[in-house]
Structure 1
Amino acid sequence: MVTPLKICQADYANVQHMNALIQLLDGYARDPMGGGEPLSEVARTNLPTALASRPFMFSVLAFDDAQGGMPVGLINCVEGFSTFACKPLVNVHDVVVASSHRGQRVGEQMLNFVAQLARDRGACKLTLEVLAGNTSAQKLYRRVGFENYQLDPRMGEAKFMQRWL
């Protein structure tokens, strides 16, 4: 079932958009896939200003108008740069779908919208990272065209790593 949604690029100066973004991101943060902890008060307070000050960031929101404009989806994106292609790329950093709307193609609709915004920016590709245990997200990503990253199959697939500072 495909839920009819209003999908838009978030306006970081719009209070309704920022409330939706923080509500959805906090729900994701509390989920085991997001770490199981609520957003800090610092993040909740400063995120709208921090996002607005970074022109390489953009977010997409999904609202269910049949449910009174309820926010049901969020994707946060970071523009990067592919040195091999000498073009921008867009990293899909957070993908959030409200539990009430999972399985209704909300993520698919938002990712297709992100792909169009990325094309409009001249991006050569979308990238993302996903937890190995998040099989439902992996199924979605494959359905919309993502595949594991590799350059030379003999060298294997890329691994996402981090170092906290």
Structure 2
Amino acid sequence: MESPEVLVLQASYTNPVHAEAIGFVLNEYAMDAMGGGVPISADTREQLAIELAKRSHAFSVLAFIAGEPVGLVNCFEGFSTFACRPLVNIHDVVVISAFRGLGISQKMLAKVEEIARQRGCCKLTLEVLEGNEVAQGAYRKLGFDNYQLDPAMGRAMFWQKAL
């Protein structure tokens, strides 16, 4: 079977088709076990692109097949003090379950890397769940790995404090 043609593009938060796609795909992710298994609120779905548009350091990449949204990557520019250059943190990587295994995440992440290089970024960062072996494998194929400054100090850990 031939793989379907995948359109990958940087989203325009003011484009109604892109805005709706961002909310739709993020909701699909939220309902997946890897996203916590709980849908996002209707308000979040409707307001997400509007709020992202207010943040000049945010950008998103969408994937479409036959006009239907099938993937999303949300990113935020940060800053590396050690390199004195911007970086891109990849916050969400989503491919709708029916379209997994087609290389869509790799195509979207290649677009993210292209945008990051255009912005003069020194690196890409992301977080991945320990149990998500498939995603880890995909990220490793693209050159991602655990982060550590000194092996004697171990790997960096991602922590949070809810407010």
What TM-score, normalized by structure 2, do the two folds share? 0.96
- Measure, in 2, the Cα distance between the counterparts of 1:58 and 1:43: 17
How big is the shift at 1:43? 0.9
- Measure, in 2, the Cα distance between the counterparts of 1:140 and 1:79: 22
- Measure, in 1, the Cα distance between the counterparts of 2:144 and 2:3: 20
Report the counterpart of residue 116 of structure 1 in structure 2. 114
Read off the aligned partner of 1:4 and give its amino acid letter: E
Whether the aligned pair in 1 keeps the contact of 2:88 and 2:124 (CA below 8 Å) is yes
SS of alignment partner, residue 40 of structure 2: coil
Report the counterpart of residue 35 of structure 2 in structure 1. 34
- Measure, in 2, the Cα distance between the counterparts of 1:126 and 1:161: 18
Decide whether aligned partners of structure 1 residues 3 and 128 sit closer, same or farther in structure 2, where only a CA change above 3 A counts: farther
Residue 81 of structure 2: which of 68, 80, 83 is its match?
83
RMSD of Structure 2 on Structure 1 (CA): 1.1
Q: Does 1:104 align with 2:105?
A: no
Between the aligned residues of both structures, percent identity stands at 55
Unaligned runs of 5+ in 1: none
How big is the shift at 1:88? 0.3
Between Structure 1 and Structure 2, how many residues are aligned?
A: 162
- Measure, in 2, the Cα distance between the counterparts of 1:37 and 1:137: 20
- Measure, in 2, the Cα distance between the counterparts of 1:33 and 1:158: 21
Whether the aligned pair in 1 keeps the contact of 2:86 and 2:122 (CA below 8 Å) is yes
What TM-score, normalized by structure 1, do the two folds share? 0.95
SS of alignment partner, residue 98 of structure 2: helix
Unaligned runs of 5+ in 2: none
